[in-house]
Structure 1
Amino acid sequence: MAQSDVALFAPLPVLTLTVEDHAGRPDIHLHAGSQGVWQARMLVTLGASVTMCCVLAGETGTVLRHLLEDEGVVVKAVQGTGRNGAYVHDRRDGERVVVAEAPSDPLSRHELDELYGVTLSAALDAGAVLLSGPADHQTDEDAVPADAYRRLAADLRAVGKPVIADLAGDRLGAVLESGVTAVKVSHQELLEDGRAGADDPDSLITAMHEVHEQGAEYVIVTRAHEPLLLLADGVVRIVRMPQLQAADTHGAGDSLTAGVTATLARGGDVEDAIRLGAAAGMLNVTRHGLGTGDVEAVLKLRELVTVETLGEARQHTDDPPEKVTPRDLAERTRES
């Protein structure tokens, strides 16, 4: 019996301070933040138990532990020698204005080794493992080397655990070397990584096949306000949902990943996973809190998500009965 539905590798959470306007007066909010935190928050909202594996250090780390545990997350933390990052954002005028940002200190070799062991131990007792990256402003090798992700993904797969990765850049390339169950990536990240030459469906579908061939069983591509694309079992699907009024689009992709992970961790199929993930992301954009939502609303929105098969993908046989290229699939995307 798994002790947690999801073991979450979120190496360096950050402390966030956001200034809002409340009846003409400043309203200050203090929260834990970063990609992994937002994913954990939505996983808990959806009823999944989460063990977060991370490094906590300095004054910010002390505060972060309390904030995370108060949200219902089990924290398995390595005590670091540096500090966790923090930022101050002013949102009183409706847009996020960066007041100050302090990045996390890079992990030492000893801290990374300890975090690796903590994560592997938690993963052995979990239904699935979610690999997330450090904060957005950390460059590829600043905090956690890409090779650590490669080794971790390889070991997790070796012990038979489903691995979901929400990564880009060198870290995405590293986990693909080891093989993962599912990858979620945005069309913008595919462009920035040079995996897609353009953001049209033709280029994106070609890139999805390449990501699959490099090591991802399922590939999910978000496209801002356009329908999601899913490649699973050799077939490309388009995922449609209503467009709700957005209060803040930050964290929507992380909520999507959380919904997908929660379903796969419990043995659900990939279509059920993408429906729940799409609904969680859809609700998140209507709220100012990142990775937040109401589970009842998510479940109702899930019924409005449609998944349509675009056609049979490329076949890897000498004489397939029907061969549909990524270009053919792109044309069907435009027509649907």
Structure 2
Amino acid sequence: MPRVVIFAPAPMLTVTIEELHGEPDVHLHVGGQGVWQARMLEALGADVAIVCTVTGEAGSVSRHLLEGEGFEVVAIEREGSSPAYIHDRRGGEREPIVEAQGEPISRHALDALYSAMLSEATGADLVILSGPDGDETIEADVYRRLASDMRELEKPVLVDLAGPRLEAALEGGVDVLKVSHEELVADGRVEDGEDEQQLLAAARELVAGGIELVAITRAAEGSIVVGEQGSWRVTAPELEPVDTRGAGDSYTAGLAAVLASGGDHAEAVRTAAAAGAVNATRRGLGTGDAAAVRAIAERVQLEELGRADDRTTDGQKDEQKDEDD
């Protein structure tokens, strides 16, 4: 069983109000990028450790819930307010009632968190660096330091970040990057997120900078993937979505699950696309059924992208060459 360690600085306690038999039905879970990734990883058979901080009463509840899900939780207790939200979904759509990002992680808590990450990473097959919801929760340079130190420990580093955190991680060095086309636009790496040529060029530039695999997700349009083993346009079956939140984190988890177990890029990308598609059919963020993911992965299409005409397959190019001759 592959072991994946996730850096999830500040998990969020989530309270969702549903309706059951005409009465309010309250659900408590833990959310946030790293937690959603962990859920899908566990569903896919990985051994997952979450390295995080917990704050106050909400933090104590979050740790209890995470441990109840079977995760190994390495939690640093800190003072202050905790990230949390309350959403009312009785009308069918999420209506935010309270959304609190929590306080920044203090220097002493950060030192303890960093040490815990170093300790846990030594036994990992792969490390994921994920971000908290709040922009001010943790300084970006932590990701540079972590990425650099994980590589020094010879641990593969997968990041699902954007903005200053992504730039910092790239400076430290990463092996696998998952990013959305909107994030590339916001970061100024492409001008038009709908332009496949620009996305492909951006991915190839990142790979040329030392990354082994870059996956750019485009929601319903599938993903563009470039790596040392090939460049592909990735398309999953168009399943009817219920809630698309968490699909990107499920995609990341699919990549991590396969790569941590020694699988190749093609298998990792198919599993990632299938995990994202399956998660979108469910109300639980980051959740999925392993059998369903495996079945859908067999239907995921990988179309090779060439440099001259990215919408032409290698076979079509050969036919065109024969005609020209």
Residue 164 (structure 1) aligns with? 158
Q: Which of 32, 37, 40 pairs up with 1:39?
A: 37
Corresponding residue number in structure 1 for 2:277: 282
* Equivalent residue runs for 1:106-117 within 5 Å: 106-117=104-115
How far apart in 1 are the matches of 2:16 and 2:210?
39
Deviation at 1:177, TM superposition (A): 1.0
- Counterpart of 2:65 in 1: which secondary structure? helix
Q: 1:153 aligns with which of 131, 140, 147?
A: 147
Do the aligned partners of 2:67 and 2:73 also contact (CA within 8 Å) in 1?
A: yes
Deviation at 1:85, TM superposition (A): 0.7
Give the distance between the partners of 1:292 and 1:286, measured in 2 at CA. 10
The answer to whether the aligner puts 1:273 opposite 2:268 as a matched pair is yes
List gaps (5 residues or longer) in structure 1: 312-323
With normalisation by structure 2, the TM-score equals 0.93
- Aligned equivalent of 2:49, options 48, 51, 60: 51
Q: What letter corresponds to residue 41 of structure 1 in structure 2?
A: R
Partner of 1:202: 197
Q: Give yes or no for contact 1:56–1:83 (8 Å, CA) kept in 2.
A: no
Which residue matches 1:316? none
Distance, in Å, in 2 between the alignment partners of 1:234 and 1:248 is 32
Kept after mapping to 2: 8 A contact 1:176/1:215: no
Give the residue type in structure 2 aligned to 1:162: P
Q: Which amino acid aligns with 2:146?
A: L
CA deviation profile, 1:173-220 (whole Å, cap 9, x unmatched): 111112211000000111111111102101111211222234422100
Deviation at 1:234, TM superposition (A): 6.9
- Structure 1's consecutive aligned runs of 4 or more residues displaced over 3 angstroms after TM superposition are none
- From 195, 198, 211, the equivalent of 1:216 is 211
CA contact under 8 A between 1:178 and 1:215: conserved in structure 2?
no
User: Residue in 2 aligned with 1:22?
Assistant: 20
Kindly provide the CA deviation profile for residues 71-113 of structure 1, in whole angstroms up to 9, marking residues without a partner as x.
Answer: 1110011111223211001111111111111112101111111
Task: Provide the C-alpha distance between the structure 1 equivalents of 2:13 and 2:84, rounded to a whole number of angstroms.
Answer: 4
| Aligned partner letter, 1:204 | L
Q: Which residue of 2 aligns with 1:127?
A: 125
Q: For residue 216 of structure 1, what is the amino acid of its counterpart?
A: I
What code does the residue aligned with 1:238 have? R
RMSD: 1.7
Q: Secondary structure at the match of 2:50?
A: strand
Aligned equivalents of 1:104, 1:116: Cα separation in 2:
19
Q: Which amino acid aligns with 1:205?
A: L
Asked whether the 8 Å contact 1:6–1:127 carries over to 2, the reply is yes
1:228 matched to 2:223? The reply is: yes
1:169 partner amino acid: G
Cα distance, 1:236 vs. partner? 1.8
Q: Distance in 2 between matches of 1:38 and 1:234?
A: 28
Contact 2:229/2:265 (8 A) holds in 1? no
User: What CA distance in whole angstroms lies between the structure 1 residues aligned with 2:262 and 2:102?
Assistant: 35
Q: How many angstroms apart in 2 are the aligned matches of 1:106 and 1:299?
A: 39
**Distance in 2 separating the partners of 1:204 and 1:89:** 34
State the Cα deviation string for residues 278-318 of structure 1 (Å, max 9, x = none). Answer: 1111100001110111111111111111212112xxxxxxx
Q: Does 1:259 align with 2:254?
A: yes
**Distance across 1 between alignment mates of 2:44 and 2:305:** 29
Q: Secondary structure at the match of 1:89?
A: strand
The residue number in structure 2 matching 1:181 is: 175
Counterpart among 297, 302, 313 of residue 302 in structure 1: 297
Q: How many residues align?
A: 314
Give the corresponding residue for 1:93: 91
- Indicate conservation of the 8 Å contact 1:17/1:87, yes or no: yes
